[in-house]
Amino acid sequence: MSEAEQVTGVVTDHGEGPFWDEAAGRLLVVDMLAGAVVAVAPGGGTHRYELGGVAAAVRARQGGGYVLANERGFQRYTADFTPDGPPVAAFDDPAIRMNDGGCDPQGRFYCGTMAYAVTAGAGTLYRLDPDLTVHTVLTGVTISNGIQWAADGHHVYYNDTPTRRIDRYTFNPADGTLGDRVTLATVDVSAGQPDGLALDAEGGVWVALWGGGAVHRYAPDGTLTDRVTVPARQTTACAFGGTTLYITTSRDGLGDNAEPAAGAIFAVDVGVTGAPQHAFAA
């Protein structure tokens, strides 16, 4: 067991979706409900890009720049977060918003949704293909979170937070569809709820625990092998930059005086390299 150290000030209200931007050598996180992307340099300095609306998840594009899941769809950006082309709508229900996402090894971008009212089963996992068409991948989700692909390219890890499960689906790389589901692990109610996740090069699954102030590591057989404590209960997501695990946190709903470190970014060297986060192919 280890403890993560605070590496920034409070730079987000609802920090989520960390992504290690390999080309720029920096971490990107979203301040989701404020509609901003925060870039964090290795020394802890930050730069904030105000995009407006909701900023749910960000990934690199293979040709340079970024792709972002916004409130109800997707937007491509240049390297300085100038919009690159028109937005791509995924749905039009104002009661629903995008929540978390990632890219498969083929360069397709997935992002799942949740209802603002956290209505059970109201969420959907969508896929944005490189031709900018949008497809439904999974329905009946409540809070879509934590999607990342195993090294074999034929399995994907995924969290629907209120289920308290970390699930592994079979994955068809040819068409980007999900198949059979098995449960890797179930998080005890006392430990929090599974939020964002990251994979390491040994196949370990690192899961941020909302309400638990921690990140758990599970081996590929579901055994709990490590625990990183975080001095902010609303631990939201994690991502690797080398052997450093970066962790985002949230102040949402806490009030001004509670948990002064909530909303900061934390980091810990866990001694194993992270698996790559893939880029969008358009």
Domain for residue 135, yes or no? yes
Residue 89's pLDDT is what?
A: 98
pLDDT bracket for residue 145 (50, 70, 90): very high
pLDDT digits (tens, 9 = 90+) for 184-195: 999 999 999 999
Contact 194/146 with Cβ under 8 angstroms? yes
Sign of CA dihedral 129, 69, 235, 241: positive
| Overall average pLDDT of the 50-61 stretch | 98
Question: What is each CA distance from 233 to 6, 249, 261, in whole angstroms?
Answer: 14, 8, 10
Please say if the pLDDT value at position 256 is more than 90.
Answer: no
Please say if the pLDDT value at position 43 is more than 90.
Answer: no
Domain for residue 277, yes or no? no
Residue 1's pLDDT is what?
A: 84
pLDDT digits (tens, 9 = 90+) for 146-158: 999 999 999 999 9
Domain for residue 23, yes or no? yes
CATH number of the domain at 45, please: 2.120.10.30
Domain for residue 282, yes or no? no
Domain total of the chain:
1
DSSP 8-state code for residue 84:
-
| Overall average pLDDT of the 28-46 stretch | 95
Mean pLDDT of the chain: 97
| Overall average pLDDT of the 250-276 stretch | 95
Amino acid at the residue 179? G
Domain for residue 11, yes or no? yes
Domain region containing 200: 2-269
Sheet holding 88-89, edge to edge: 57-60, 66-69, 73-77, 88-89
Domain for residue 25, yes or no? yes
Domain for residue 281, yes or no? no
- Residue 191 has φ and ψ, to the nearest 5°, of -95, -5
Distance CA 48, CA 28 (A): 10
The number of angstroms, rounded, from the C-alpha of 218 to the middle of its chain's C-alpha atoms is: 17
| Overall average pLDDT of the 121-145 stretch | 98
Residue 35's pLDDT is what?
A: 98
Contact 159/165 with Cβ under 8 angstroms? yes
Domain for residue 275, yes or no? no
Residues forming the active site: 195
